[in-house]
């Protein structure tokens, strides 16, 4: 796919092109990493808060058998 170049371009162009695209992908993937850690933290916090809510308002025993428990609060948004 790489045609023989007779221009005065540097010999190993593909390296540079690959490097540039790698930079771009690295940036996007760094974002994935950051979002992943944030998501992990959210999951942890929500579990904690859920346990806290259980302690406060009881373990929700009446609803535990129900396969599709009705939401406790009125419709939110």
Partner 1 sequence: MLYGTRLRALSIATLVTMTAALALAFFYAPMDADQGFMQKIFYIHVPMGIVALCGFVWGGINAIQHLRTRDPKYDLRSYVAIHLSLILGAGVLVTGSIWAKASWGHWWVWDEPTLVSFLIVFLLYATYQPMRFSIEDREKQARYASVFAVTAGAFVPLNFIAVRLAQAYTHPRVFATADGGLPAKMQLPFYLSFLGMTLLYITLWRYEMASKNTSAKLRSLRRKLAGDDAVAPAGRTAAPSLPTT
By CB under 8 A, name the binding residues for partner 1. 2-3, 5, 7, 9-10, 13-14, 16-17, 19-21, 23-24, 27-28, 31, 35, 38, 42, 45-46, 49, 52-53, 56, 77
Give the residue with the Cβ less far from partner 1, 52 or 63: 52
- Alpha-carbon distance of 67 to 44, in angstroms, equals 24
Give least dist CB 67 to partner 1, A: 26
- Alpha-carbon distance of 49 to 35, in angstroms, equals 21
* φ and ψ at residue 75, rounded to 5 degrees: -50, 130
């Amino acid at each position: 796919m790489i045609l023989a170049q007779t221009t005065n371009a540097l010999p190993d162009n593909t390296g540079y092109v690959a490097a540039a695209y790698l930079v771009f992908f690295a940036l996007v993937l760094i974002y994935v990493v950051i979002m992943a850690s944030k998501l992990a933290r959210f999951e942890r916090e929500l579990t904690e808060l859920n346990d806290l809510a259980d302690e406060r308002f009881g373990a929700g025993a009446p609803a535990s058998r129900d396969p599709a428990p009705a939401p406790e609060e009125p419709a939110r948004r």
